[in-house]
Amino acid sequence: MRDARDMRESDMRDARDMRSTPLTPLTSSKPLVSLMSSKPRIIGNYGGYRKTLSFGYVCLIYHATTLFCRRNYDYKNDPLGKTVGQMIGAARSARQNIVEGSARAGTSKETELRLYDVAKGSLEELAGDYEAFLIDAGIAPWPEDDSRHAALASIVLDAYDGDYSRHDYAEYILAMRKRFAPFLENEDPIVAANAILMIIDRACGLLSRQMQAVGEIFAEEGGFTERLSKARLAVRDAKDASQGAPTCPDCGGAMRKMIARKGRNAGKPFWSCCDYPHCQGTRPWKGGLA
């Protein structure tokens, strides 16, 4: 058996190993993996969901919803478990679809977008249940000039600035739960339902902005398939261009086929040093072979 000190050291090593896995925010433009040493990049960014406020809010909504259901619905009088099952299921679906969408961000912006849209749909469905709960109780949701509406509006979620660490992220969520608990986890179901509705609206707004950003990246860079075929063409062109190439008369390096852009040979092929513009060596094109 390992003694306590060994355990601590190996735990610290594990934590360090986990942290060496980069997690970039959705907006970062750093490529994680690239098929070729230079452009074009193929694998986009992924896995940044913990850095987004939308995910933080969805976590709070999930925990508040499980607590709300436990407190306010009698499982025995909800024979099909329908309301409770659907509410917790919708909150869980929002959470899981953000995680999954973020995981697919690297390969398919289209799938990423679709999953964020599903997450948003789940939140809207959940909002419907809270609205129905309030109306069932004979109460309308808080109007915007209600003092409690303003009080909750002034409470904000901190951005998570930690690394990839389950422990650190859980500590962050627990601290944020505590901050919002007077509203989201209020024992008065009317206060809790109103507060959860407001936070759902906030999360939906953030998800919409995120989807807009992903859509813009998709329009600008194209999807995975598009980038893959571009890279394949670039590799093929590079191969074709150096087929049967002579060596450079100036530096002895490799040469490649180029097409003259101007002069009397414009539009005609010639051999150019691969080290151009550093080396200006050229050779005339003789039917493909030197």
List residues binding Zn ion (CB under 5 A): 248, 250-251, 253, 273, 275, 279, 281
- Closest approach of Zn ion to the CB of residue 253, in Å: 5
Bridge partners (DSSP) of residue 255 are 273
- Closest approach of Zn ion to the CB of residue 271, in Å: 10
- Closest approach of Zn ion to the CB of residue 245, in Å: 12
CB of 15 or CB of 279, closer to Zn ion: 279
Q: Is 26 exposed, middle or buried (0-12, 13-18, 19+ CB in 10 A)?
A: buried
CB of 25 or CB of 253, closer to Zn ion: 253
CB of 99 or CB of 279, closer to Zn ion: 279
- Closest approach of Zn ion to the CB of residue 254, in Å: 8
Residues in the chain, overall count: 290
C-alpha dihedral, 77 to 80 to 84 to 88, nearest 10°: 160
CB of 246 or CB of 253, closer to Zn ion: 253
Cβ pair 112, 99 in contact under 8 A: no
- Closest approach of Zn ion to the CB of residue 272, in Å: 9
Residues 12 and 159: their CA atoms lie apart, in Å, by: 25
CB of 251 or CB of 290, closer to Zn ion: 251
- Closest approach of Zn ion to the CB of residue 99, in Å: 52
Long-range CB pairs of 207-214 (<8 Å, 24+ gap) are: 207/54, 207/98, 207/116, 207/119, 207/120, 207/123, 208/120, 210/26, 210/52, 210/54, 210/116, 211/113, 211/116, 211/117, 211/120, 213/26, 213/27, 214/26, 214/105, 214/109, 214/112, 214/113, 214/116
CB of 157 or CB of 248, closer to Zn ion: 248
- Closest approach of Zn ion to the CB of residue 261, in Å: 19
Helix (H, G, I), strand (E, B) or coil at 26: coil
DSSP 155: -
Bridge partners (DSSP) of residue 283 are 271
CB of 171 or CB of 250, closer to Zn ion: 250
Residues 201 and 127: their CA atoms lie apart, in Å, by: 8
